[in-house]
Amino acid sequence: MIPEIGLLSLIIALCLAFAQGILPLVGAQTGKPAWVAVAIPAAAGHAVFVAISFISLTWSFIASDFSVWYVAMNSNTELPLMYRIAAVWGGHEGSLLLWVLLLAFWALAVAAFSRGIPTLLRARILGVMGLISAGFMMFVLFTSNPFLRLFPVPLNGNDLNPLLQDPAMAFHPPLLYTGYVGFSVAFAFAVAAMLSGTIDRQWARWARPWTTMAWMFLTAGIVLGSWWAYYELGWGGWWFWDPVENASFMPWLLGTALIHSLAVTEKRGLFKSVTLLLAIGAFSLSLLGTFLVRSGVLVSVHAFASDPTRGLFILIYLAVVVGGALSLYAWRAPNLDKEVGFKPFSRETFLLLNNILLTAAAGLILLGTLYPLVLDAMNLGKISVGPPYFETVFIIPMLPMVVLMGVGMHTVWRSASATDVMRRLRMAVIITVLSGIVIPVLVWGWNSLLTVVGFVAGAWLIVSSLIDPVRRMMGKGPRITRGMAGMQIAHLGLGLCVLGITATTSFNIETDQRIVRGESVVVGDYTITFDGVQMVNGPNYQAIRADMSVTRAGQPVTVLHPEKRVYAVQDSPMTEAAIDSKLNRDLFIAMGDDLGDGSWSFRIQYKPLISFLWLGSIVMVLGGIVSVTDRRYRLAAPATRQAPVQAATVKST
């Protein structure tokens, strides 16, 4: 019964999404207020019914209703409750339903928190989101129905893939999808603006917080996935330039460019066509990511099933969405940008360069990701493009970008004075170069020129982000708005990431060792002793656990317990690494095989500063949070600004 309620709700939601999509858009073009007024109630109803559908599926998982095929394939009565809920999005069908749910919630949020936005613009935004959602729901209903019944009903389910039975993995898909889907809001803003034909600074101000929020979720989702790969999947690797990772990283790069382009559009009324293109691009790459992951052209832990109809459906959908938006753009864009001058040395130029470099990086990653697929499709051989390519094409645009960022933050709009900026940055440059070169060499020794460049780049970002806050604390600089503070915090976070990446790639120690019970090996400054193994029973697995005691200069540091698990239902072995995390380094031990003579093989790694990578990412997200809470986003449009400001003043007195 419950699964049928879920299916029925999804069909009702589809009808409401069509109503939300078609009526307001047509009404807005033809001037029918009654049709336009459908947008908000339809969006609300749409969200409610998608939610009922999603709850129905979740209920089937909690109740272990194995008469539902999808539940039988992805759950098991032995599975802990938390993972039974996470298993809802552990497979293809459920993760698409999650996509639809999040899209409906974003639309609901736009409906609820956009009172300042003119009715027509809001109706168009909701309309575009309704159509996007309708397309996805048709995809779910026609190719990936999660409510299909199974007969005969199995006694127990197939269990969730053990790799996914992990707290980080429970949250990674929802966060990542919230980010992906969130770019649909920016996309809808762009399409709505092109339909109406007016794109002004006010429009950019409305679009900015939505874009930043989507970016924050995407950032958090990507990092959580990377962190999971680090301790669960990758034997200590945290980024593999796997096509699926690239699929999430490309929208992130374009989304980052979009945030910066929107800033110029809001403050100066410039770059309108660039902003529109980036908004279309960021969401298109999100859809492309979904296509790559879901169509089965890629097979990895993320690619749940290879089904050509699914791939074809998404490809057509992608063509309609991207093609439609780009045609609209081709029609509208020529009349958008009016000439407003700016000098070559100005904040505008730096932001433009930033966007070019980010787009170039995304484009080159796209090239490397699609190239093997194209070759394979044309029967020109099976190749894979390895990390060296991606590392090269990523570092080349990113290094100048990081240098420019540090300068760009301290330039003003329109026309900046180069001498002023140089004078302000002189101290910062000295501090950066000294700390970026001297400290790492003292701590870890000399590695390579690229290492030095990496440390200097990271230090440069951190130092230059701190200039204004430090000046302010000394009572010199101007007041820092939330928007500015958010920018500085996010850039500081990126600087921490750069330091972490540089240190961990340059001074990483990784070694496969054979250790006899009772003996020890030396890795860096650490001595690791293999004390023995024991059997351990988990809720749905059995494990062999090793006891490894770690000492440094004779002092005990910690005892680590890497495990090899065998999950009962799927009979699949899993390596559970043990990590000792400190701010300055991680010690990572993964268990290999029993070598037969009382010795085992272990992979032992020493990873300096890797925590800076996770920490820096969190700081970036914090920067996003600070900037979206800027007061100006809560103010209404300029025409009606007076009233709320006065109300606020009255309240505060």
Partner 1 sequence: MTPRRRRMVIVGAIFLGVATAVTLGLQGMQESMLYFRSPTEVLSGEAADGRDFRLGGMVREGSVERLTGDLEMSFDITDFENSITVRYTGITPALFGEGQGVIAIGRMEGNSVFRAREVLAKHDENYMPVEVADMLAQQQQPEELSTESSTN
Q: Which two tokens stand for residue 267?
A: 């403050």
Q: Which of residues 431-450 bind partner 1 (CB under 8 A)?
A: none
Look up residue 52 and give its two tokens.
Answer: 């009922």
Q: In the complex with partner 1, which residue's Cβ is closer, 410 or 603?
A: 603
Task: Name residues contacting partner 1, limited to 223-242 (CB under 8 A).
Answer: 233, 235
Contact pick of 389, 414, 437, 622 for partner 1 (by CB under 8 A): 389
SS3 438: helix
Binders of partner 1: how many residues, by CB under 8 A? 72
359: which residues sit within 8 A by CB, 6+ positions away?
253, 254, 257, 278, 281
Q: Comparing C-alpha atoms, which of 626, 617, 622, 628 is closest to residue 210?
A: 628
**Peptide bond just before 152 cis, omega within 30 deg:** yes
Residue 60 tokens read as 């089937």
Note whether 287 binds partner 1 by CB under 8 A.
Answer: no
Please tell me whether residue 363 binds partner 1 under the rule CB under 8 A: yes
The two tokens of residue 483 are 């928007």
Position 148 contacts partner 1 (CB under 8 A):
no
Helix/strand/coil for 549: strand
Pairwise CA distance, residues 193 & 162, whole Å: 46
Would you say 24 or 372 has its CB closer to partner 1? 372
Residue 435 has φ and ψ, to the nearest 5°, of -70, -35
CA distance 647 to 653: 10
The number of residues in the chain equals 653
* Residues within window 574-613 making contact with partner 1, judged by CB under 8 A: 574-575, 590, 592-593, 595-597, 599, 601-603
Beta-bridge partner residues of 103: none
Q: Hey, CA dihedral for 567, 570, 574, 580, is it positive or negative?
A: negative
Q: How many CB atoms lie within 10 A of CB 77?
A: 13
**Smallest separation (angstroms) from partner 1 to the CB of 357:** 7
Would you count residue 79 as binding partner 1 (CB under 8 A)?
no
Find the shortest distance in angstroms from Cβ 592 to partner 1.
4
Specify the stretch interacting with partner 1 by CB under 8 A; choose among 121-129, 366-374, 614-622, 630-638.
366-374
Task: Report the nearest approach of partner 1 to the CB of residue 438 (Å).
Answer: 31
State in angstroms the smallest separation of the CB of 563 from partner 1.
Answer: 11
Binding flag, residue 304, partner 1 (CB under 8 A)? yes
| Closest CB to partner 1 among residues 37, 509 | 509
C-beta of 554: minimal distance to partner 1 in Å?
28
> Which range of residues in 130-138, 210-218, 352-360, 481-489 is near partner 1 by CB under 8 A?
352-360
Rounded to whole angstroms, how far apart are CA atoms 573 and 52?
A: 37
- Do residues 491 and 524 lie in contact, with contact meaning Cβ atoms separated by under 8 Å? no
Q: Pick from 43, 68, 73, 104: which binds partner 1 (CB under 8 A)?
A: 73
Q: Which residue in 482, 514, 517, 561 binds partner 1 (CB under 8 A)?
A: 514
- Which tokens go with 251? 């929208």
Which of 45, 368, 440, 623 is close enough to bind partner 1 by CB under 8 A? 368
Cα-based distances in Å from 612 to 294, 438, 491, 544, 615: 32, 19, 14, 32, 5
Residues 89-108 that bind partner 1 (CB under 8 A): 90-91
The answer to whether 414 contacts partner 1 (rule: CB under 8 A) is: no
Q: Binding residue for partner 1 (CB under 8 A) from 26, 112, 148, 305?
A: 305
Q: How far is the CB of 61 from partner 1 (least distance, A)?
A: 14
Of 31, 152, 344, 556, the residue at the interface with partner 1 (CB under 8 A) is: 344
* Cβ at position 572, least distance to partner 1 in Å: 5
What's the CA gap between 311 and 302, in Å, rounded?
15
Residue selected from 171, 371, 413, 444 as contacting partner 1 according to rule CB under 8 A: 371
Judged by beta carbon, residue 69 or residue 215, the one nearer partner 1 is: 69
